[in-house]
A = this chain, B = another copy of it.
Amino acid sequence: MDNLSISRALPLANVHIQDEFWSEYIRLIREVVVPYQWEALNDRVEGAAPSHAIQNFKIAAGLAQGEFYGMVFQDSDVAKWLEAVSYLLETGKDPDLERLADEVIEIIAKAQQKDGYLNTYFSLKEPEMKWMNLAECHELYCAGHMIEAAVAYYRATGKKKLLDVACRLADCIDEVFGAEAGKLHGYDGHQEIELALVKLYHATGTNSYLSLSQYFLNERGTSPSFYDIEFERRNRKTHFSGLNMVRDRSYSQAHLPVRLQETAEGHAVRVVYMCSGMADVAAETGDEELLEACRRLWSNIVNKRMYITGAIGSMAHGEAFSLDYDLPNDTAYAETCASIGLIFFAQRMLQIETRSEYADVMEQALYNTVISGMSRDGRQFFYVNPLEVWPQACDKNKNLSHVKPQRQGWFGCACCPPNIARLLASLGRYMYSTKDQTLYAHLYIGSQVDIELGGHQIGLLQQSQLPWKGNVHFELTVEGAVEFTLALRIPKWCKAAEIRLNGITFQTDDVLVDGYVYINRVWQSGDTVELNLPMPVNRMKGHPLLRETIGKVALQRGPIVYCMEEADNGPNLHQIVIARQTQEQVQYHAEVLGGLQVLSVEAYREQTDGWDNLLYKVEDNIRTESVTATFIPYFSWANRGRGEMAVWVRES
C-alpha cells in the first residue's frame, strides 16, 4: 500500500497569527498559562493540589531524593508542557523559556534508563512491574506524549537532545512490543503512542516507528485479550480498583479490532486519540480499510454522539460515550481534552480528504468547548463542560458531582490545562494546508502566511472579524504572476456566503466542492479576496431522537453557540421560554468579559405565584411575565461568579 496524497498543514513558523480574538488567547498561553503551569508542575501554586511532576523526574534522574508522587501518568504533564513551550518557541523567540525547557530536557534525559526506558512512576515506584500492566498504567501513553514533545521541540529549536531521548525510548518500546515471538503482543490502555510514533516517523524518517504504530493499532481488540494475558501474568494485580479497565474492554476500545468498530465506545479521549493514530497510519499506508473505519467512527461521533458545542462524552462513569442520541445536558462529561482530541482527529481527516465537515467540527469544538475550558484570565480551567448547570444540584445530587459550576485552579489529574495550552499554542497548524498547487484556508483567523508553493514564494495576509462579524479579507503577495489554487472553506453555519475577487463578485457555483470554493488563477501581488459570511442568529434544533433537546432551541451565531447565564437572567433559567416569531437583538458589549456579542430575545418566564406550598396541581392558566432573555457566548460562561447556565431553551 502506498501513502495517500494528503494536504499538509503549514509549519507553525510560517503562520503568524494577528487576530483580534485569538491573539489574546495565545498571549494568555504564553504569558499566563505556560508560566502558571510551570509553577504548578513545580508545586508552587498555593492552594492547588501538588503536581510533583518535575520532582519525579529529578528523583528518577538522581538529582533529588524522595519518592514518586502523583498519578501513574504524571510524567505526561511535563511532556505536554514541553510541547506547548515548543510551539511558543516556534512562533516567537523566548530565550528564558527555552533555557527553562533545556533544563527540563536535561533532567528528563538523565532520568532515562540505559535501555531507553523512561517513566518515573515505574522507575521509582514499581520497577518490577514495568510493561506488566498496560491496561491500566499508561506507560506507552506517557511515552507518546514525550515523543510528541520531542518532535515539537526539535522542529521549534533544531535541538536533538530530546528527540534522541524519544528515539531511544521508541526503540526500547520496539524491542519489547511486536508480533515476533518473545515480544509482548500488546498495546496501551490509553492510546497516544500511535499518533506520536507517526510524528516521530515524520521527524526522523525511521520506518520502524510507523510500523510500530501500525502494529499497536492492529493488535488492539484482538483475541485472546492481551489485558487478560497480562492480568494473569501479574497475578491479577490491579492499579485502579474502581475502574474495571482490564475487563471492560470497550473502555479502552479493546472490545473489537479497530477496523471492526462501528460506534464510538468507552473513554472519549481514548477514542479520538486512537482515531487520530488510525488516520495517521491510513494516510501513510493508504490502508483503505483503516480509513473506512475512521470515516465510520467519525460519522458516529459527530452525527450521533456530539454536543452542539463540539463536546463529546455523555457520562462521568468512564468519562465515556454512552449510546446514540444520548446527550444529557446536565450530567454530561464533555471533557475539554476530548474536544481537543476530536480536533486532532478532524484535522487528520481533513488532510486526507478536504471536506468542510471536518473543519466545521474543528471550529465548533474550538470556539465553544475548548475555550470554555479556560477562564478569561488563563488561570482556571474546566475539565467537564456541561450544557446546563444548576450549581445547588451539583453540590447535592451525586449524579452531578463531577460537574463544577466554576473553573478550578489545577487538578489532581491535570490533563486538560496543558492540553489547552498545546492546542492554542499551535493554533497556526490548524488554519491552512497545502497539497500540490492548492493552498487551503480552513479557519478564518487573522494571520500572515509565508509559504513556498510549487517553487514560488507566496505571502497571504488574512484579516478576519470572526467570530463577531463574518468579514474575511485576503491579500496576496507573490513575485511576478503565479498560478495556484486558493481553496476557501464555506462554514456550515453560513448559507449565503459571498466572495469578491479584487472587488468583483466571484461565482462559486461551479467551483464549490465538498464545502470548499476553489479559486484557481494566476495570482499577482495585491490581489484580494473578500469572503463575506452573513451571520444571522441561527436557532438550532436537535435531531428528534435527542431527548434532551426536544422542544428546545440553541442560539448560534457564526461558530459561536450561546447560553443563558444566571448573572444576566436570574436563577431558574428553566422557566424561560423564548418567543419563536421574534428577532434577536445582537449587540457588542465591550465591557462584558473583554468584549462580547450579546443576544437579547423576547421571552416569558413562568411564575411561581399562586402555587403556595403545592408541588403538583391541576393545570390552569400558567402565569407568566414578559422578560428579555440574554444570551452570552457559551465559551464565556462562569466568569462572573457561581450561577446557573443553560444552552438549550424552550421556545413558544
Contacts and interface: CB of A to CB of B under 8 A. Distances in A.
A615 B306 contact: yes
A396 B611 contact: no
Nearest to A357: B613
Contact of A323 (B316, B393, B618): B393
Contacts of A539: 618-619
Interface string A510-552: 0000000000000000000000000000111111111100110
B393 A317 contact: no
A303 interface: yes
A550 B538 contact: no
A543 B396 contact: no
Contacts of A390: 326, 547
Given A544-B608, A553-B619, A616-B541, A397 B326 contact: yes
Nearest to A548: B574
A598 interface: no
A5 interface: no
B303 A614 contact: yes
A577 B552 CA distance: 13
Contacts of A607: 544
Given A331-B399, A543-B608, A547-B390, A613 B326 contact: no
A408 interface: no
Given A326-B393, A608-B544, A615-B304, A398 B315 contact: yes
A393 B299 contact: no
Contact of A303 (B299, B392, B574, B615): B615
Given A574-B550, A615-B303, A615-B306, A397 B314 contact: yes
B322 A543 contact: no
A527 B572 CA distance: 55
A638 to B, nearest CB: 19
Contact of A619 (B304, B541, B572): B541
A150 to B, nearest CB: 37
A314 B396 CA distance: 10
Nearest to A547: B574
A392 B323 contact: yes
A395, A546, A554, A615: most-surrounded residue (chain B CB, <10 A): A615
A629 B550 CA distance: 17
A115 to B, nearest CB: 40
A54 interface: no
B616 A396 contact: no
A302 interface: yes
A572 B619 CA distance: 25
A539 B577 CA distance: 20
A204 interface: no
Contacts of A650: 550-551
Contacts of A315: 397-399
Closest 7 CB pairs of A and B: A317-B398, A322-B397, A323-B396, A539-B619, A544-B606, A547-B574, A538-B618
Given A539-B618, A540-B618, 18 more contacts: A302-B615, A303-B613, A315-B398, A317-B399, A322-B396, A323-B392, A323-B393, A538-B618, A539-B619, A542-B615, A542-B616, A543-B616, A544-B608, A550-B575, A550-B650, A551-B551, A551-B577, A551-B650
16 contacts: A303-B615, A306-B615, A315-B399, A316-B398, A318-B398, A322-B393, A323-B397, A326-B396, A543-B608, A543-B614, A544-B606, A545-B608, A550-B574, A550-B606, A550-B650, A551-B650
